[in-house]
Structure 1
Amino acid sequence: MGTPLDSREAQTGEVIDRLYEQYPDPTISLEFSNRLELLVAVVLSAQCTDERVNEVTADLFEKYESAADYADASEEQLADDIYGITFHNSKAGYLQGIGEILVNEHGGEVPDTMADLTDLPGVGRKTANVVLQHGHDLTEGIVVDTHVQRLSRRLGLTDEESPENIEQALMDLVPEADWKEFTHLLISHGRETCTARNPDCADCVLEDVCPSSKEDHDVDLASGEAW
């Protein structure tokens, strides 16, 4: 088991520094060309891989170019067009509802406030944060997806369990200048090394400071200390 640093602030700083070295250009993996496409892609990505979303939206974005296109479509047609996405029936309803609200309340444009975004069907703080950061270049919080939720707890950065409480805890620890990239650092590490079921602790750049590491350390029997 690794040994975390003396404080969560120091632990967080060490994690960020090492992951920046490991992943120097962290960024979003969803493919989009405008704010509406970004919003749709993030809604579809809930409990679905980004790779699968990108496959589906390649055709979807050619057919639906405006908020009005989503508003005018039937849920059944939308469900067919996003078939293969997890919970495609529910998400079809979200997209149709999003289209209607954007047309009726925002002139067909994607709003730029947390309150307006989270009023949209299927949009919580995670989705809203992504849209604000990558669509409007506004950073109001930290995106907490399943990777961030898992790794922040494994690394001892927080004991919180709900995404909302984890986000607040991380906002208190992570420098605001790193909020946007922090998510992508943990996502990259969660995909490549610290996976949900079989984390590769042996090849992890954070192994020696991770309280959840499963690696054995040799022990100096005289001192009782690992070396």
Structure 2
Amino acid sequence: MDCGEGFDRATLTPLGDQLRLMQAIYDTGKPVVTVYIQGRTLDMNLAARHSDALLTAWYPGQEGGSAIADIIFGDVNPSGRLPVSIPRSEGQLPVHYSRMSAGRDYMDGSGSPLYSFGHGLSYTTFDYSDLTIIPTDNGDRWDVSFRLTNTGRRQGAEVAQLYLRDVVASTSQPPMLLKGFKRIELNPGESREVHFSLGPDELSVYNPALRRVVEPGLFRLMIGSSSTDIRLKGDFTVK
């Protein structure tokens, strides 16, 4: 247990001699899956360099052991996605996918997270194609669709994520904000058309008067497997 109420930490390093233990295991040359049972993000740099796979289990509960075993032995194809970004070091914090300084590096290291918000792998792969953006309801809403294909050899689920940027706004906006996501299960080789609907809830911003309004202008749409794995992009204009 490495977190809790009133249990602050100065570093993200795993407690005790865990890093020494991990290094000793990696030195054996055997294939290694590293499982993190944690209540907060931890330093994963060593494991990222040497492990064959990483599994973030958080605090999984009394059936956690069974769930972890099912994934490691391939009985279940994982489809979880990170609800936070995993930093490379404490100096990066806070590290948000929507931060305005995205893309800037430190003098002595990368500014990008080790693993980004929305990231997650499975035992299959997916392809995104055929993006369309069509106005509906007299221009009050937009229908966004694309084709998702399971290009691997196993049944699996993809979590498709839709991000949006209001390019022309009266107040400063983040470079991207998550506006929707869908979990789609597909058999090997199967394709499906996926739809999102954008309306006032997704398109509105707070103007200088602190009123939430939909302003005319250019919007940039991004769809992908994570906040840094964008597969499709498109622009549309609200008039």
For the criterion TM > 0.5, the same-fold answer is no
TM-score by length of 1: 0.24
Bigger proportion of residues as helix: 1
Bigger proportion of residues as strand: 2
